[in-house]
Structure 1
Amino acid sequence: MSILNDLIMNTMDLGTKKKVPSIQLSQTISDWNLQLTNKREVPISDIVKNGPLLIIFIRGTWCPFCRMHMNKLRNWVKKLSQTSATIIVVSSEPAEKIREWLRTNSFPYLFASDEKSELADHFGVRIRPNDFSQAATFLIDSNLSVRLAYTGKRSKKNYVAMEEALKSV
């Protein structure tokens, strides 16, 4: 099944090829207010006071690849129970649409709406002309510095890299 999954991901995920560079390691990001789906607006600087922030961009809750990733992420989060990291999945969908989907799909992490794709633009992960984000993950430390950055398909290797980066923050 894993080989079939990889084949599908590699052939159907071609829309993630883009020319805009994403934010790089050690780069300091600007502070942003995240529009959480629990109807709160929170600055990234407030979130990282309590520990690092893992921002995970997805195309949307409608995306089958994103759904697979969120399920893998759900299981992986259990391994992180001893870290102080906050995980926020960002979608370009309206908050209400994400909330509606979450009513039947429970996850142990937060979701944020980036309906205008401004955060995706800042991180350099917006795919045009589709106006949604490519798969991307960034680890932000208390100084708003990027400690982990990658875009594209997520693999077991990426989870190991996230674990290592979280240990070093």
Structure 2
Amino acid sequence: MTDEKRDLRRIELGSALSTRNLERGWMAHAKVTPMRVVSDPRYDEVDLSASAEELTRLASAVAKGEGLLSSTSSPGSDALAGVEVVRSSGPGVLIRRDDERRILVISGDSAGRAVLAENLRAMATDEEGGHLHIDYFPGHFYLAEGSVPLVVNSPHGGMPTR
């Protein structure tokens, strides 16, 4: 196994990487468009952009309920260092910012995580483009109250033409 694959495997398996290591990059997979996770304080939402491969990795981590994926960030920006996925008893999925570690945390029960993972996979594979708004509202069937709004941008471009 190459060092690049070993580093990716470490991230996919959710090993306990520090925020400092995330900020250093762990970008051995730089051939793939790196994930970018930006906290937008104006709209109190998080904007996520990634390649199809990175979105698929995130979807897999969400489905498994564990993982830590790095994001590109620069000092002084609103970019977060990565996304951590944690299994919990729920109910539902809670998406929150850990401001101290500058990480987006996704936690929840298996049923809610399965729905979110499927939505992420669909965005990764839908070549029509566009973006996905993941916003809590009272009675939401898989998001938990208190979830931060998340916008997932298609790796295939802007809004569909049809």
Given the two structures, how large is their TM-score scaled by the length of structure 2? Answer: 0.30
More helix by share: 1
Which structure is richer in relative contact order (CA contacts within 8 A, separation 6 or more)? 1
Q: Larger % of strand: which?
A: 2
